[in-house]
Amino acid sequence: MIFNIEYETMPREALESIQLRRLQATLSRVYAAVPFYRKQLDDAGVKPGDVRCLSDLSRLPFTTKQDLRDNYPFNMFAVPMDNVVRIHASSGTTGQPTVVGYTARDIDTWAELMARALSAGGATRGDIIHNAYGYGLFTGGLGVHYGAEKLGASVIPVSGGNTRRQVIIMKDFGPSILTATPSYSLHLAEAAEEMGVSFRDLNFRFGVFGAEPWSESMRREIEEKLHLKAVDIYGLSEVIGPGVSIECHEAQKGLHIFEDHFIPEIIDPETGQPLPWGETGELVITSITKEAFPVIRYRTRDITSLNPEPCICGRTMARMNKVSGRTDDMLIIRGVNVFPSQIESVLMEIKGVEPHYQLEVDRKDNLDILTVRVEISDAAFSDEVKELQRLSETIGNNIKETLGVSASVKLAEPKTIARSEGKAARVIDRRKL
């Protein structure tokens, strides 16, 4: 079902004229209200009124995560604190967290976008949504929650953690939609199995998974283990939270960006030059309706490409391809660029290997060493030593063949790699420690 037919199926020309009007209004507002943006524009010699068409956007300077940190906690807010009704923050694994604010209207906008997103992912008013995204400063839990209520579905605000209790709730309440990080959904599947509960007997139809990169092979694994259709949802706190873009369950091919609220661009991360439709680079987003925390040309560091082709679902909004990684997650191993998701894809194709892995990078004698620790299934674990050696060789060879890097493979016993309740920590890069 399409939640907002008028906007989600709008012809491109009409959409672009709305985008331009909203962009101009946003620029005037941030220029007046946020000293950072006023200085950025002044330094670039651009006045808000100079932006007369959408391609003028590329004349504006970028905003980076560092800029948000420099303005910690509230200096990027474009409205007085009186008008801010909610504050979220990103976890900030390195340095200061980034803090974002919402007006009452921003919360409404977000709820609308999440209602659209959940609908695209297969949810209807009649569904019960088991929402296992964390509630708190992280935007996942509350973002889904407000969207589910706006849609009119019934939401179970179970949050992350307490996994065994979640399985009992799934069994007793019969939720039909699961919302969680992909890694946590697999942890739920495992816990259910241990408790003798089969997803076959549960009521799930769809799962809406995001907040971390996950490969197509991981999707197949989840769909099989959880007996549901899995769609990908994308977002980031700096831009609004979840609900920037979503796959439709009909195509499961690229995530529709809600372009009436966000203008996407793809740039070459090295040069900052905008790239044409279809080319892969860093996603940059400008928000055009947010009041408390607008962002102009925000560099997400996420790597993807844009596809404007019409979709079988009827939505006209451009799609971004599945995020393959982040510019700052890219490992350079002996000169070869490696994304964790590429290794994930290789691992998931091999029988006997479980979707739980960790990558460790170290440097010895000036050489990078990649170690892949991956769990094996119970069945594989009971194999002869010779078989295990063969499995480990296959993994190493396939990684070498596909990615061109050598990896030392360590098979881990079932259930020994730490499970996450939110975003999985896949990489330990000791070179940086």
**Cβ proximity to ligand DLL, 175 vs 254, nearer residue:** 254
- CA 197 to chain CA mean position, Å: 29
Identify any residues that bridge with 345 across adjacent strands, giving them in sequence order.
none
Calpha distance 381→57 (Å, rounded)? 56
Number of residues that bind ligand DLL (CB under 6 A): 21
In degrees and rounded to multiples of 5, residue 326 shows phi and psi of: -115, 150
Lookup result for tokens 């969207």: 147
Distances 225 to 116, 160, 186, 207, 356 between C-alpha atoms, Å: 27, 19, 8, 12, 14
Binding to ligand DLL (CB under 6 A): which residues in 83-122?
90
**Cβ proximity to ligand DLL, 175 vs 242, nearer residue:** 242
Choose among 205, 229, 211: nearest CA to 219.
Answer: 229
**Cβ proximity to ligand DLL, 38 vs 326, nearer residue:** 326
Binding to ligand DLL (CB under 6 A): which residues in 51-90?
90
Binding to ligand DLL (CB under 6 A): which residues in 223-282?
232-237, 241-242
**Cβ proximity to ligand DLL, 322 vs 356, nearer residue:** 322
CB of 7 vs ligand DLL, minimal distance in Å: 21
Contact flag: residue 140 with ligand DLL (CB under 6 A): yes
Other beta carbons within 10 Å of 95: 10
Binding to ligand DLL (CB under 6 A): which residues in 198-227?
210-213
Calpha distance 361→430 (Å, rounded)? 6
Whether the ω angle into residue 73 lies within 30 degrees of 0, i.e. cis, is: yes
CB of 169 vs ligand DLL, minimal distance in Å: 20
Other beta carbons within 10 Å of 128: 18
Alpha helices in 262-384 (DSSP H): 340-348, 378-381
**Cβ proximity to ligand DLL, 185 vs 398, nearer residue:** 185
Distances 389 to 357, 371, 385, 393 between C-alpha atoms, Å: 18, 16, 6, 6
Binding to ligand DLL (CB under 6 A): which residues in 300-329?
300, 302, 323, 326
How many residues can be counted in the chain?
433
Nearest position to ligand DLL, beta carbon:
210
CB of 424 vs ligand DLL, minimal distance in Å: 11
CB of 34 vs ligand DLL, minimal distance in Å: 20
CB of 45 vs ligand DLL, minimal distance in Å: 30
**Cβ proximity to ligand DLL, 245 vs 398, nearer residue:** 245
Calpha distance 2→8 (Å, rounded)? 7
CB of 241 vs ligand DLL, minimal distance in Å: 5
Footprint of ligand DLL on this chain (CB under 6 A)? 90, 133, 138-140, 210-213, 232-237, 241-242, 300, 302, 323, 326
